[in-house]
Amino acid sequence: NKRVKGISIHRPFVYGSVARPIDPAKRPANLPAEHTHQWTVWVKGVDDDDISYWLRKVQFKLHETYANPLRLCDAPPFEVTETGWGEFEIQIKLHFVPESGEKPQTLWHPLKLHPYGPDAEIEREERRPIISQNYEEVVFNEPVDAFYDILTGG
């Protein structure tokens, strides 16, 4: 399994979160009283492109106030939905397909629940979803040839 010399392959993806305030009228009876929002954090392809040919699984690490803070997504969609009361940094660990021989890579996403800035008041009044999303690229430097074939569809 030789490395393809002098080659870097970039693969784009997006990661982010959306949070919605829980509507008091639709509040599930079993929800802890202090939970104010429902949110989802994700890793996915740009325009929902398939990324599972290079991304094998994703581990999300939530704040320690959550029961079972480690959440493993073994297949797409790579996302976690939860309810809660506070903002925190979510650790996102990307595990690549075994053929890659690549070590996992870690990134951090600040979960955003509360609007701020010039439109914060109207966003709060209208209970608009709070979206925070980032574009990123993973760079595979000199991939092994089996992985190079997978990446390039060869």
Site residues (vs ligand SLL, CB under 6 A): 63, 65-66, 84-88
Q: Which residue's CB is nearer to ligand SLL, number 87 or number 136?
A: 87
Q: Which residue's CB is nearer to ligand SLL, number 39 or number 54?
A: 39
Q: Which residue's CB is nearer to ligand SLL, number 66 or number 107?
A: 66
- Residue 16 Cβ, how far from ligand SLL at the closest point, in Å? 18
- Residue 106 Cβ, how far from ligand SLL at the closest point, in Å? 19
Secondary structure, 3-state, the chain: CCECCCCEEEEEEEEEEEEEECCHHHCCCCCCCCCCEEEEEEEECHHHCCCCCCEEEEEEECCCCCCCCEEEECCCCEEEEEEECCCCEEEEEEEECHHHCCCCEEEEEECCCCCCCCCHHHHHHCCCCEEEEEEEEEEEECCEHHHHHHHHCC
- Residue 85 Cβ, how far from ligand SLL at the closest point, in Å? 4
